[in-house]
Structure 1
């Protein structure tokens, strides 16, 4: 057992970066993150600004695990990834997919505010013309009736691998599965933001679970949850929380340690950034190699956040560390 390092140790080499994005994604055009260094390497603390400290503390726990313990043992050396297609015009789809050479699966954002179902159908159709496996992600943006109508339209000219978080609540997901038995439903927010991650599965609201390292509190906690989900017959898809290269490496390491990996992982979001803290990890034949990542000093300097934002992140990390102390968090090798 490894004790929680002190807040001074955690923040001794901390740096805050601000990464510009190629397109608006999840409502933002820059992604901020605090990077910290420990005896095992680097970790990333980047809960979205709107998250309360109680939830954000899981992200700090994940960063500390990464930097102080490092990854769990791997069972594979490469991990398949999906291309990620933001809510862009259909005409821009080929340019987006070009950043994911060899990818055979694409996740397409749908239900974006200010857009129509026709926009979504056109985008999915453009993706389907270039990639054989298509999944969509609505981020809980539909009602049950809207989800049913949308999924019927989106599957009119081909199947979907699954629909991720079509509605926000667990009862709604259950109803979508009842109405649309031929479309797999994947739960994301209903797992990573829930006090009981298995609630949606026990209720019958998910065929697939989308899991992310940082929101769950680390790679080992993800593996533990994946084991529980497997006992319910629900496979997992390891995905990114719009991570920097450091966070992506943790996601790849977690995916590499899973006994089974049925679906391509959502770990190709590095292509959404104009610049990152380490060199771009180019997929080969749609796969990422399992390897440690260390931030490049020159890149970090160029991407440094403002002094005001750096102070904001440091204070947030201090508060979250205090919560981890209150919870008696310990780390197990």
Structure 2
């Protein structure tokens, strides 16, 4: 991939701040940089706490999507899951109502400041809303140690979990937990152990996961993500990082290009945004997202333009990350 000059990126770069419908990952507003390449609009939106070396991988993905052709698809629509933040159990029905027709729900657990009892009641509420035919998975974002994870997943097993995503932080912990859960039929999915690892294939080689959660931006682009899945030899779930609809379309293109797609994908998160950058946001309809590439709407870019100091912060970050690209 050829890296375009910084000036070509900055020429169309716009920084936006989008409010959320509910607090997620500790934030109420999602910020992102959008810019337009020869292939269309693209997105650079690493979380603000990430260092430049990690964030530059997200920029490489954004450039690839804006400047290079996407791989040929195997499907023209992608099934997606609902995402339930660490809300009170009473708020679960309202959250699920945002995700039209989704047959699967991913539930955030292990939230700092909350208890296992909070997690159990939240997952119970999701199972009640989804019914016995619905699929329920949990995501701890590495928030438990092995003993905590074993205890929590035993407590949650009554809700017939599809899998547990990143229950522990390290590969060794995941391998230990997977062995402890051998008789419990709770598959382990690796997310941070793939996208934040120096070697994204290490978790597969260690036999520490049953499936991989992959995200286009953190892995450096669609093609690199496809390579990782092929080399790992494990089923994959494509997910998002609370992107705008522009970034989500990158994820949909990745999911569409996978030869196998055994699980509903975590790409329905535009439903958690109270605003977006396109007039036709990529929100689930009948539980799926179409394979399409939305364009940013000029009026919405203006309406949700970030404050001047935040705009400067992001553009300076973009410049630093661009300098790190090969």
Q: Same fold (TM over 0.5)?
A: yes
1:139, 1:165 within 8 Å by CA — same for their partners in 2? Answer: yes
Residue-pair matches, total: 320
For residues 117-136 of structure 1, the aligned pairs below 5 Å read 117-131=116-130, 132-136=134-138
Deviations 1:101-157 (A, max 9, x none): 11110000000111111111111111111221000000010111110010000012x
Structure 1 CA distance for aligned equivalents of residues 100 and 11 of structure 2? 39
Structure 1 CA distance for aligned equivalents of residues 204 and 35 of structure 2? 34
Structure 1 CA distance for aligned equivalents of residues 36 and 137 of structure 2? 36
Structure 2 CA distance for aligned equivalents of residues 235 and 303 of structure 1? 37
Q: 1:219 aligns to what?
A: 222
Q: 2:322 aligns to what?
A: 321
Backbone CA RMSD of aligned residues: 1.0
Residue 201 (structure 1) shift = 1.2
Structure 2 CA distance for aligned equivalents of residues 69 and 203 of structure 1? 34
SS in structure 1 at match of 2:262: coil
Matched, 1:250 2:250: yes
Q: 1:312 aligns to what?
A: 313
Residue 247 (structure 1) shift = 0.3
Residue 52 (structure 1) shift = 0.8
Structure 2 CA distance for aligned equivalents of residues 306 and 141 of structure 1? 33
Structure 2 CA distance for aligned equivalents of residues 3 and 204 of structure 1? 35
SS in structure 1 at match of 2:9: helix
1:174, 1:204 within 8 Å by CA — same for their partners in 2? Answer: yes
SS in structure 2 at match of 1:21: strand
Structure 2 CA distance for aligned equivalents of residues 203 and 282 of structure 1? 36
Q: 1:205 aligns to what?
A: 208
Residue 285 (structure 1) shift = 2.0
Residue 306 (structure 1) shift = 1.0
Q: 1:331 aligns to what?
A: none
SS in structure 2 at match of 1:130: helix
Structure 1 CA distance for aligned equivalents of residues 215 and 119 of structure 2? 25
Gaps of 5+ in 1: 328-333
For residues 274-293 of structure 1, the aligned pairs below 5 Å read 274-278=274-278, 279-293=280-294
Dislocated runs of 4+, deviation >3 Å? none
Matched, 1:228 2:231: yes
Q: 1:108 aligns to what?
A: 107
Deviations 1:155-213 (A, max 9, x none): 12x31110000011111101110111221010000100001001111111110100000
SS in structure 2 at match of 1:32: strand
2:277, 2:296 within 8 Å by CA — same for their partners in 1? Answer: yes
For residues 1-333 of structure 1, the aligned pairs below 5 Å read 3-131=2-130, 132-156=134-158, 158-181=159-182, 182-230=185-233, 234-278=234-278, 279-324=280-325, 327=326
Gaps of 5+ in 2: none
SS in structure 2 at match of 1:155: helix
Structure 2 CA distance for aligned equivalents of residues 242 and 283 of structure 1? 14
1:41, 1:70 within 8 Å by CA — same for their partners in 2? Answer: no
Structure 2 CA distance for aligned equivalents of residues 155 and 3 of structure 1? 48
1:19, 1:30 within 8 Å by CA — same for their partners in 2? Answer: yes
Deviations 1:300-333 (A, max 9, x none): 1110001111111111111111111xx2xxxxxx
Structure 2 CA distance for aligned equivalents of residues 284 and 275 of structure 1? 17
2:271, 2:283 within 8 Å by CA — same for their partners in 1? Answer: no
Which TM-score applies when normalising by structure 1?
A: 0.94
SS in structure 2 at match of 1:161: strand
